[in-house]
């Protein structure tokens, strides 16, 4: 069963650049280690870190037309910083992996099932 783990950081700390370079490296090292463990355990499907929010563009439909603005969604309290997709035996295992992320990084993490293309048994 595949789950996506979405890690969110408090936007304020990114804006105010209170996250130090050392902290960023520490977190990168953690993610690298975690990915290695998940590849070895046969649970890793994909993961990526996302760039600094200053690189973000947001597109919204305004009066029926897509309009692009620089920057993330306004008034967002949390910034999506990374996502992973894992293929695990149970929801509990997905939550366990996400808990490791939260414990180490202090980020909030959403865990959501990934939609499945198989049809399943007959109704």
Partner 1 sequence: MRLDGPVEDLLRREAPQVLAALVRRFGRFDLAEDAVQEALLAAAQQWPGDGVPDHPRGWLIRVGSRAVIDALRADSARHAREERDAEQVPTGPAVGHDDSLLLLFLCCHRALSLPSQIALTLRAVGGLSTEEIARAFLVPAATMGQRISRAKAVVATEIGAVGGTPFSIPVGDERDARIAAVLHVLYLMFNEGYVASAGDELVRVDLAAEAIRLARMLHAALPGHGEAAGLLALMLLTEARRPARTTAQGAAVPIAEQDRSRWDRPLIAEGTALVEAAMGGPRLGAYRLQAAIAAVHDEAARPEDTDWPQILALYTLLLRFDDGPLVRLSRAVAVAMVQGPRAGLAEVDALAGDPRLAHNHRLAAVRAHLLELAGDLDGARAAYEEAARITLSTPEQRHLRQRAARLGR
Q: Is 64 in the site for partner 1 (CB under 8 A)?
A: no
41 binds partner 1 (CB under 8 A): yes
Q: Does 62 bind partner 1 (CB under 8 A)?
A: no
Q: CA 88, CA 2: separation in Å to the nearest integer?
A: 6
Regarding 92 and contact with partner 1 (CB under 8 A), the answer is no
Closest to partner 1 by CB, 64 or 121: 121
Q: Smallest distance from the beta carbon of 43 to partner 1, in angstroms?
A: 7
CA distances from 38 to 7, 12, 30, 87, 122 (A): 17, 31, 12, 9, 34
Nearest-approach distance from CB 91 to partner 1, in angstroms:
8
Q: Could you give the 3-state DSSP secondary structure of residue 89? A: coil
Do the beta carbons of residue 83 and residue 48 sit within 8 Å? yes
The least distance separating partner 1 from the CB of residue 123, rounded to whole angstroms, comes to: 4
């Amino acid at each position: 069963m595949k789950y996506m783990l979405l890690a969110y950081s408090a936007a304020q700390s990114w804006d105010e650049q209170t996250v130090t370079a050392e902290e960023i490296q520490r977190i990168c090292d953690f993610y690298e280690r975690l990915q290695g463990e998940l590849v070895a355990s046969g649970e890793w499907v994909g993961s990526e870190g996302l760039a600094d929010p200053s690189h973000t563009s947001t597109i919204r439909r305004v009066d029926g037309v897509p309009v692009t603005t620089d920057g993330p969604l306004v008034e967002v309290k949390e910034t999506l910083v990374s996502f992973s997709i894992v293929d695990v035996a149970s929801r509990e295992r997905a939550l366990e992996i996400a808990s490791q992320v939260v414990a180490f990084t202090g980020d909030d993490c959403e865990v959501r099932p990934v939609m499945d293309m198989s049809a399943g048994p007959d109704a």
